[in-house]
Amino acid sequence: MRPVAERMSLSYTGFPALAKRAFDASVSGESGSSEAGMDPWMNGLRLHARRLGSLSLALVLTLASVLPAGASDRSESPSGRQIGAETTGHSLDDILRYISTTWDELNRSASYCKAFKDTKTDGEPILYLPAELAVPQTVGELLQNCNVRVEHLPGRITKLGSVDLDKLPGEGLLYLENPYVVPGGQFNEMYGWDSYFIILGLLREHHLALAKGMVENFFFEIQHYGGVLNANRTYYLSRSQPPFLSSMILAVYNAEKAAGQADPEWLRKAYGFAVQDYDQWNEPPHLAGNTGLSRYFGLGGGPVPEIQEDPSHYYRGAAQFFLTHGGQYGKYVVPIDPKHPVAGIVGPSFPVFVCDSQTSVPTPGNCSDANVTLSADFYEGDRSMRESGFDVTFRFGPFGADTHHYAAVCLNSLLFKTETDLAQMSAFLGLRGDTVQWRRRALERCRRIDQLLWNERRGLYFDYDFVRGKQSQYEYATTFYPLWAGLASPQQARRLVRNLSLFEQPGGLTTSTRESGAQWDSPYGWAPIQLLAVEGLRRYGYGRDADRVAQKFLTTVLRSYLLDKTIREKYDVVAGSAQTQINVGYTQNVIGFGWTNGVFLELLSGVPPEVRAHLDVERPVANAYRQRRATDAQQAEDVGLRITRCDAPIDKTSAAIHSASGQTLLSTMTAEQQTLTTQKTMLAALRPYPASGPVCHR
Distance CA(214)–CA(221), nearest Å, equals: 11
Q: What is the dihedral of CA 17, 18, 19, 21, to 10 degrees?
A: 80
Answer yes or no: 391 catalytic. Answer: yes
Find the helix packing angle between 543-564 and 527-539, rounded to 10°: 160
Name the E strands within 615-679: 654-658, 664-668
Answer yes or no: 569 catalytic. Answer: yes
Residue-wise over 8-32: b if at least 16 C-beta within 10 A, else e?
eebebeebbebbbebbebbeeeeeb
Distance CA(239)–CA(230), nearest Å, equals: 6
Distance CA(592)–CA(570), nearest Å, equals: 11
Distance CA(218)–CA(196), nearest Å, equals: 11
Distance CA(156)–CA(161), nearest Å, equals: 12
Cα angle 531, 533, 538 (rounded to 5 degrees) comes to 95
Distance CA(391)–CA(36), nearest Å, equals: 30
Distance CA(456)–CA(476), nearest Å, equals: 16
Phi first, then psi: what are they for 82, rounded to 5°? -75, 130
Distances in Å between the Cα of 531 and the Cα atoms of 24, 191, 254, 453, 620 are: 30, 18, 19, 22, 27
Query: Residue type at 440?
Result: R
| Rg for the chain, CA atoms, rounded | 25
Among residues 328, 368, 404, 255, which one has the least CA distance to residue 5? 368
For residue 370, what is the DSSP state? E
Find the helix packing angle between 409-428 and 245-258, rounded to 10°: 40
Distance CA(582)–CA(486), nearest Å, equals: 34
Among residues 523, 631, 556, 562, which one has the least CA distance to residue 65? 631
94, 569, 602, 618: the catalytic one is: 569
What are residue 371's DSSP bridge partners?
A: 351
| Long-range Cβ pairs for the range 426-429 (8 Å, 24+) | 426/271, 428/264, 428/267, 429/264, 429/267, 429/268, 429/271
Distance CA(66)–CA(434), nearest Å, equals: 64
For residue 616, what is the DSSP state? T
Among residues 550, 676, 684, 549, which one has the least CA distance to residue 614? 676
391, 450, 521, 602: the catalytic one is: 391
In 10 A of CB 463, how many CB atoms? Answer: 28
| Long-range Cβ pairs for the range 28-36 (8 Å, 24+) | 28/473, 29/473, 31/475, 31/502, 31/513, 32/475, 32/513, 32/514, 32/515, 32/522, 33/502, 33/513, 34/505, 34/574
By CB atoms closer than 10 A (0-12, 13-18, 19+), residue 478 is buried
In 10 A of CB 458, how many CB atoms? Answer: 17
- Within 8 A by CB and 6+ apart from 431, the residues are none
Instruction: Cite the active site residues.
Output: 391, 569
